[in-house]
Structure 1
Amino acid sequence: MDSDDDLPPSDAAAALRLIRHQQAVTATRLEPDARLVYWPWGVAWLIGFGLFFLRFAPDGRVLVRLPDWLPLTALFVLLLAAGAVQAVAGARAYGQVTGDSARRGLWYSCAWGLGSVSVYAALGRVSEHLPHDLAGLLWSATAVGLTGALHMAGGAIWLDRDLFRLGIWISVINLAGAFAGPGWHALVVAVAGGGGILVAGTVARLRQRHRP
């Protein structure tokens, strides 16, 4: 014998509410926790670029005597860890998604990978002819600028206002840091960039939790 919960809705309004509820539940299951998407990158930028500022401060100063290799190594390791965390979270959420959404995600990932490799290959040929401080600024400003542009592209693809706004923010603070010069760029990206990503993740998570 069927229970009351198994019976079909008695009217169209109830049926519509049931459909919307099921859609919301499905969307929640297919969407990764925003904290796992944003926070690892925010922490990586905050710590990684923060170490750059402490070791390679403006005007050739050294605020904290760290090994020369430590800031870049720490940033690289943190970025790899952030990418791994996001990849696992995305795989769990989107593993069963097919069709146009899956194709967009795959092509967008290819844009990240190929775009980064091609840009860094060109930088490697140019930066060796620049002073150390300007070469560092060129690498960091280009990497951050590429990140901002791809964030805006992702926001346009998925009509995600938060992602698009974050891309604008990253682009603006990158421009400000580049004009400020070597040393200052690392500070701006660490505080405003890393902090901005952490805030964006917090806002996105709050919206997820309060979504009807």
Structure 2
Amino acid sequence: MFEDPREALRLIEREQVNTIREVTPDPRLMYWPWGLTWLISFGLSFLRYGPEGRVLVDFPEWVPLSAMTGLLIVAGIFTGIVGARSGRHISGPSSRQGAMYGVSWSVGFTGLAVVFGQVGESLPEHLAGLLWGGGMVALVGVLYMAGAAIWQLRDMFVLGAWISGVNVIGVLLGPGWHALLIAVAGGGGMLVAGFVGWWRLR
């Protein structure tokens, strides 16, 4: 038994903090893979398909898409493993929420891919690229905000709103500029969010 109630309270608080750290994945490991993916892949897209159709760096056309596809797969597998390891001690409603949220990402991206695959064929190449890039990034922003509403995470909501705003500005500016904004402000925003989340978790 504790003679001092304050000592017991401090012990409880320490255990609560330790529990939160154990079940909460490192934000850097959840955000940085995606931030780097956007920074690299959209950066390559900007260099190859610049504003007004300019080619800033003349490398093969398949490089940006291939880089994005490969990096997305690696980031998805990596963050999936990190999330699964952090959630292995969680059960009940929270576990179901996480599972349903994860499925929502897959369903959302699959649905958009089918729609864009049909619509994009009738658009010029530069507009088809803007449709794919703008649509997918818009979905990411909305899903981040939805996840923030589920788990009451203000930082995650701010990130989703930031990505959504940057995406809208990029789409209005047009092809080339959209890729640059998403690479720098979108990918960079994820890198900053990962660092801020890690710092607060400490």
Regarding TM over 0.5, the answer is yes
Q: What are the residue-to-residue correspondences of 1:12-31 with 2, within 5 Å?
A: 12-31=5-24
Report what 2:126 is aligned to: 133
Q: What are the residue-to-residue correspondences of 1:89-104 with 2, within 5 Å?
A: 89-104=82-97
The answer to whether structure 1 residue 173 and structure 2 residue 169 are counterparts is: no
User: Gaps (5+ residues) in structure 2?
Assistant: none
Report what 1:81 is aligned to: 74
Aligned length: 202
Q: Give the Å deviation of 1:11.
A: 3.1
CA RMSD after TM alignment:
0.8
Of the three residues 187, 208, 212, the one matched with 2:180 is: 187
Q: Letter of the aligned partner of 2:79 in structure 1? A: Q
Q: Give the Å deviation of 1:121.
A: 0.4
Cα deviation 1:127-181 (Å, max 9, x = unaligned): 0000000000000000000000000000000000000000000000000000000
CA–CA separation in structure 1 for the residues paired with 2:51 and 2:101 = 36
Report what 2:32 is aligned to: 39
Q: Give the Å deviation of 1:12.
A: 2.4
TM-score (norm 2): 0.98
Q: What are the residue-to-residue correspondences of 1:139-178 with 2, within 5 Å?
A: 139-178=132-171
Q: Give the Å deviation of 1:13.
A: 2.2
CA–CA separation in structure 1 for the residues paired with 2:134 and 2:170 = 8
Q: Letter of the aligned partner of 1:27 in structure 2? A: I
Cα deviation 1:165-205 (Å, max 9, x = unaligned): 00000000000000000111000100000011101111111
The answer to whether structure 1 residue 60 and structure 2 residue 53 are counterparts is: yes
Report what 2:3 is aligned to: 10
TM-score (norm 1): 0.93
CA–CA separation in structure 1 for the residues paired with 2:11 and 2:117 = 57
Identical columns (%): 51
Q: Give the Å deviation of 1:58.
A: 1.1
Between 80-89 and 36-45, the greater mean CA deviation after superposition: 80-89
Of the three residues 109, 113, 120, the one matched with 1:120 is: 113
- Greater share of residues in helix: 2
